[in-house]
Amino acid sequence: MKKCHLALEITHWVTPELDLPLYCEFVYDSQDPLAVTVVLDTQGVRPVTWVLSRDLLSEGMTARAGTGDVVLWPLIDHDGESSSFCLRVGSGPTVLFEVPAEPVASWLARTYDMVPCGAELDGVDWDELVQLAE
């Protein structure tokens, strides 16, 4: 089992005029190769954990992705570059975060070094899973 962690400061947009710094951690575990865990407010009293698809995170850094409880999209600066991306989580009331793109992109590349895209389900014993389901 291999894990890959990234701790960084992000921005919590409380309102369009009010933003607060927030520490978070991205965690990838090769035992659950399709998922990324995002722990928000890691230095707070009650951190909040969201689990999302690694592919969704990757896609959302370059184009709008997701529906429902998790939606991501890149923020393009005046030079046409994406220096950050937005992560909106929640149903009903939602919470909006702005995340720096470069450290997450580098971290994601390391996760794909650990488990390449398309190889996430290699080694799954499908016969065993079918037996468990019966």
Q: What pTM, to 2 d.p., does this model score?
A: 0.84
Handedness of CA 54, 21, 97, 59 (dihedral sign): negative
**CATH code of the domain covering residue 114:** 2.30.31.20
- Rounded distance, CA 24 to CA 82, Å? 20
Token pair, residue 11, equals 């921005």
Structural domain count of the chain: 1
Q: Please state, rounded to an integer, the average pLDDT across all residues of the chain.
A: 88
Instruction: Give the structural domain span for 105.
Output: 3-133
pLDDT at 125: 61
Q: Does residue 13 have a pLDDT over 80?
A: yes
| Alpha carbons 88 and 40: distance in angstroms, whole number | 12
Take residue 96 and report the two structure tokens written for it. Answer: 């909006």
- Position 119 scores a pLDDT of 63
